[in-house]
Amino acid sequence: MAGEFELIEHLLGQVRADRLTHPPVLGPGDDCALLKASSPDMAWAITTDMLVSGVHFLDQDHPYDLGWKTLAVNLSDLAAMGAAPRYVTLAAAIPPEDASDTTWIDSFFSGFMACARQYGVGLIGGDTTRGPRVFSVTALGEVLPGCALRRDRAESGDDVWVSGAPGYAALGLRAKLDHLDLPENVGTLAERALHHPLPRIELGLALHEVAHSAIDVSDGLLQDLGHIARASGLVATLRAEMLPAAPEGIDHALWRACLFGGGDDYELLFTAPPAARPSIQALSHTLSLPLTRIGYMQKPLGEGTIDSCGVQVLDAAQKFLDLALLSKGFDHFA
């Protein structure tokens, strides 16, 4: 492979044949793609996430997994808004070696496109440049504005729910970095959670009817729930005994750190009124996806300043856990 244009052509060759339910008016190849919403009532939900070598992934990571995850984390933001994914762009910085020997980038791109096809999104453009490996995706989805699942719409009295199996991705990362030996079944789940996250698109769409607010768990349960609590002017209380228990053979303290502070789960955290419990249980059954009620939202005690909003965890003896002892979630500049 030689230059930028051959590389772009090489990658995009595979994309043009894709059949999409919502094809763009004009796909990649010109100066811009052209898009039309599926109806005038729909709003565009737009999100960008960047993955940087050495920060979000390691060069030793498998490129196929990385390609999958690069797209999946962006689609997860659409899921958290209750939007239906439609289109993505991919801006890629890659070292010159990746352009001359395309084995790595081909594998990355296969993983990326596998995720795109699974969720029916079209790659409509991007940019390719030389540099240390950095991948930036912009994802566009459609949602009826009144149905969008916002962070600032939780209500006092809402239940707090989480999907899937939070904590496993962080456990997978800890196991990898610290060379921990996990029991085989736990290790397999943890590795899958870390490398092959599944954006909860169907759940996000189904939550239009039942949830007041939602966020995806990318930076840890406490931190992400804190975003809902503060945006909504409320306190979120998690009940320790309702949280997923440590998998067999996993140290309790390690599990708590992974569950509360570990990121990378890409599960949905949402709030809904207690009257919605039967519908949520039915939804869990329909989607074959665990949905676990883990706490509730309430008004802050006293005059609610923004500082009094946030997250607290109550144990079975009604004592508050010391959150300073638990990992607080990921912050790039902390």
Q: Which 103-132 positions form the footprint of Mg ion (CB under 5 A)?
A: 127
Q: Per DSSP, what are the bridge partners of residue 271?
A: 160, 213
Q: Which two tokens stand for residue 273?
A: 């009124």
What CA–CA distance (Å, rounded) separates 197 from 268? 12
Q: Which 7-26 positions form the footprint of ligand ADP (CB under 6 A)?
A: 8, 12
Q: If contact means CB under 5 to 8 A according to the sort of partner, which of ligand ADP, Mg ion, none does residue 29 touch?
A: ligand ADP
Q: How far is the CB of 90 from ligand ADP (least distance, A)?
A: 4
| Using rule CB under 6 A, residue 203 touches ligand ADP | no
Q: Which 128-157 positions form the footprint of ligand ADP (CB under 6 A)?
A: 128
Q: How far is the CB of 92 from ligand ADP (least distance, A)?
A: 5
What CA–CA distance (Å, rounded) separates 282 from 236? 24
Closest to 35 (Cα-Cα) out of 147, 150, 144, 139:
139
Q: Which 65-94 positions form the footprint of Mg ion (CB under 5 A)?
A: none
Q: How far is the CB of 38 from ligand ADP (least distance, A)?
A: 22
Selected from 94, 123, 169, 225, the binder of ligand ADP by CB under 6 A is 123
> What type of residue is 333?
F
The answer to whether 95 and 130 have CB atoms below 8 angstroms apart is yes
| Using rule CB under 6 A, residue 90 touches ligand ADP | yes
For 101, counting Cβ atoms within 10 Å of its Cβ (0-12 exposed, 13-18 middle, 19+ buried), the class is exposed
Q: How far is the CB of 46 from ligand ADP (least distance, A)?
A: 16
| Using rule CB under 6 A, residue 107 touches ligand ADP | no
| Using rule CB under 5 A, residue 9 touches Mg ion | no
Q: How far is the CB of 223 from Mg ion (least distance, A)?
A: 35
| Using rule CB under 6 A, residue 79 touches ligand ADP | no
What CA–CA distance (Å, rounded) separates 309 from 24? 43
What's the maximum distance between 2 C-alpha atoms anywhere in the chain? Answer: 66
| Using rule CB under 6 A, residue 30 touches ligand ADP | yes
Nearer to ligand ADP, 92 or 201 (CB): 92
Q: If contact means CB under 5 to 8 A according to the sort of partner, which of ligand ADP, Mg ion, none does residue 43 touch?
A: none
| Using rule CB under 6 A, residue 101 touches ligand ADP | no
Q: Count of alpha carbons within 13 Å of 193, Cβ hemisphere only?
A: 30
Q: Which two tokens stand for residue 62?
A: 């498998």
Q: If contact means CB under 5 to 8 A according to the sort of partner, which of Mg ion, ligand ADP, none does residue 8 touch?
A: ligand ADP
Angle at 244 between CA 241 and CA 248, to 5 degrees: 110
Provide the H-helix boundaries in the chain: 4-16, 63-81, 96-100, 103-118, 168-178, 184-195, 201-206, 221-232, 252-261, 277-287
User: Which positions touch Mg ion (CB under 5 A)?
Assistant: 127
User: Which positions touch ligand ADP (CB under 6 A)?
Assistant: 8, 12, 28-31, 90, 92, 123, 125-128
